[in-house]
Structure formats: structure tokens, C-alpha cells
Amino acid sequence: MAVQPPTEDPLKNHHRYETVKYLSSGSYGFVVLARDRTSGSSVAIKFIERLKGKITKNVEREILNHSILIHPHVVRFEECFLTEKYLAIAMEYAAGGNMYSHVTANHGLQEEHGRFFYQQIILALDYCHKMSISNRDIKLENTLLDSTEPGRNPLIKLCDFGYSINESHSLPKTAVGTPGYTAPEVLMNRTRYDGKLADVWSSGVMLYAMLCCRYPFERPEDDDDPKGQHRIVQRIIKCQYEWPKDKPLSAECKDLMSKIFVADPAARISIAQIQKHPWFRHGLPQNLEVDTYNGHYVKLSKQAADNADAIRRVVREALHEGQEQQSVSGDVDHLAERNSMDTEDSLENDYLSWY
């Protein structure tokens, strides 16, 4: 059940941010668009009420995992801080809305257009996996667009790391994610599974949905069937999907998805193999080496200050009333210097020229 929009300004009297408008809400809390008084830039701020049951280990894990990621296709973490009523997470604002709205507004994307976005999704996932982060909730709604300017292809930004896990600390064992996108091994409640290969499956569902404007394992009759969800789960486990007749796809595109929709994760195509697939390679700059490109951002991420202990303190203080205005954002000067270096880097400029 979605949280109701706030009746009072959650940033009233805040020293740095001021509310511009309410954006959205979910079971976790709500999000507002805010202006940073120090820079004039826009940020999105997620607010989670400071109550037991709301502030959990999952919230702490979400912030910790998100805070270490620095990549053009991941929404940038800015800081977390406390107000009197809320734990707040400030992050980059993506003005173009989410991919679900973009896909439905266009009644599905042309294959070339969908490939353009899928290439970015795989770049982002490859980077996250190199950082030992499995997202576990890849879907259209959790993928944002940075802009909708006429004449410019928007860039995608992965957001929402609420179900993510750092596999350098522990292996995934809980069934999480969104029905319809979830891999068979997750639905079958295996005691351990590879979160990276589960992300590959979800990326395939997302690709199918982008191109076909429907989900591969759902049927129209499922909506009115009390056992509809059960039937969807069974189709996922058995890999029962169809190619829509009204949305013709190339043989290479179908080949890639057939290698993704494999029930046995050990036999499923990997992120590295996707990057070598002919359909995926089409249109990429010849000199783009994903390992080199993402290695650049892995190196930057590891250079960033380690805020893990400070973040844990803020999250845990969220359950103590009267504590507010604490924040964790890392070394601001270091971040400003790093962002400047990103823009000037020749690798970055070569890559962005592709867009």
C-alpha cells in the first residue's frame, strides 16, 4: 500500500534543500523534487518515516550499496540525512520519467530504439556486478530517463537498490523482486542462487517488454483468473513464452532472448556473453571495450571515501527521536573534482559521442 503524500513540507527549515514539488510514493515512503540551495541543482529526495518496521536492515543495505556506485547509467547517490520525522536519501534527479511510461506511451519501441536502451542497461549491470552488487529488481519502473529533450536520445539511469545485495558479503537466498520479472531459480526458493544471473533474466524480460509492450510470461486472460499469478509463475519456471505476431523481431534479437530465457542459470547466457552477441554489438562504437570503460568507473568508485560506518550510524540514529540534520555525503570537494575529471576524460567523451 502506497504511503500518502505528506501534509507538511518535509524539508521545512532545512539548511540545504527546499521542496519544489511532490513526485511519487510507494510502500517505502515518498519522493519529492528539491532544490539544492548551495548549487541551485535539482535532486530527488526519498523520505522514509522514522518508525520501527520502516527503518530496517534492508534500508541500510539499500543506502550502503547505492552509495558506492558511480556510473553514468546509475542514479547518483548524493547523501543521506535525518530530519525530525524522516530518514532522507538525496539522489540525482532524472527528469525524463521512467521507462515504463516511455514504453507504454510509444506502444512498444522499435527494435533499434530498444537495443539502444538495452545496451545501456547491460553496461550498468556489468558495472554493478563488477562492484559485487546484484540489483535483483531490474524492471521498467526502476529505470529512469535523464531527459526528454527533442532531438536527443535520453540516457537511462538504474535506480532503486532496495532489493540489492553485495555478494562480496553474502550470497542471495531470499525470493525478492517483482512478479513477472523474477528468474525461475528465485521463484523456486533455492537456498542459494547467483544474483547476477537472476539480473540477466530480468534484463531479458525488460527487453521483451520494451519491444513488445507486454510481458513474456503473461497472457490477457490472467487478469480475470484467480489463478492467474500461479499460471504466470508456472510459465516462468517452464520458460513458456511466445513471440507476438504483431511485433516482428529480428532473428538475432530472438536468439539473444532465447539464450536469456533458460531455466537453468548455469546454462543461461552471462553478461559478458551478452556483450559479445551480434545483436547487442550492433551500433556500438568499434573502439568501445566495455571492460575498459566500466573498469574506469570501478576504479573511481573504489577511490571514493568509505562512508559505510557513517551511513550505518545515520540509519540507526533514525530510530532515535530528537536526532536530526546529521548527514553523510562523502568528501564534497573530492566528488566535485572527480565529476570534473569524468567529463574531461577522453574515454567518456568517445563513449558519449555514440548517443
CATH of the domain at 112: 1.10.510.10
* Residue 196 maps to a domain: yes
Residue 350 forms part of a structural domain: no
pLDDT of res. 53: 84
Residue 133: name the closest of 71, 76, 65 by CA.
65
pLDDT, position 209:
97
Is 7 a domain residue? no
Q: How far apart are CA 268 and CA 135, in angstroms?
A: 18
Residues 6+ apart with CB under 8 A from 113: none
Phi-psi region of 164 (alpha: psi -120 to 50; beta: other; left: phi over 0): beta
Domain presence at residue 267: yes
The pTM (predicted TM-score) of the whole model is 0.86
How far apart CA 3 and CA 49 sit, in angstroms, is: 10
Which pLDDT belongs to residue 344? Answer: 33
For residue 341, what pLDDT is reported?
34
Among 126, 137, 146, 199, which one carries the catalytic annotation? 137
The answer to whether 314 and 87 have CB atoms below 8 angstroms apart is yes
Domain assignment present for 75: no
137 assigned to active site? yes
Give me 30's grid cell: 515518498
Residue positions forming the annotated binding site: 46, 92-94, 141-142, 160
Query: How far is 81 from 140, CA to CA, in rounded Å?
Result: 28
Residues making up the annotated binding site for ATP are: 46, 92-94, 141-142, 160
Cβ–Cβ < 8 Å for 250, 239: no
Our count of domains for the chain comes to 1
User: Burial level of 10, CB count in 10 A (0-12/13-18/19+)?
Assistant: buried
Region of residue 13 (phi > 0: left; psi between -120 and 50: alpha; otherwise: beta) = left
Tell me if 12 is assigned to some domain.
no
Domain around 183: 99-292
Say if CB 143 and CB 99 are below 8 A apart: yes
Strand, coil or helix: 74: strand
The tens-digit pLDDT sequence of the chain (355 residues) is 667 778 899 999 999 999 999 999 887 889 999 999 999 999 999 999 998 888 888 898 899 999 999 999 999 999 999 999 999 999 999 999 999 999 999 999 999 999 999 999 999 999 999 999 999 899 999 999 998 677 778 899 999 898 898 876 554 445 455 778 999 999 887 668 899 999 999 999 999 999 999 999 999 888 888 888 899 999 999 999 999 999 999 999 999 999 999 999 999 999 999 999 999 999 887 767 777 889 989 988 876 656 778 888 888 888 775 555 556 664 433 333 333 334 334 444 444 444 4
Whole-number Å distance between alpha carbons of 199 and 311: 26
Contact (Cβ atoms closer than 8 angstroms) between residue 200 and residue 147: no
Residue 202: its pLDDT value, please? 97
Q: For residue 167, what pLDDT is reported?
A: 74
277: enclosing H helix or E strand = none
Rg of the chain taking only CA atoms, in angstroms: 20
**Is residue 202 situated within a structural domain?**
yes
- Does residue 255 fall inside a structural domain? yes
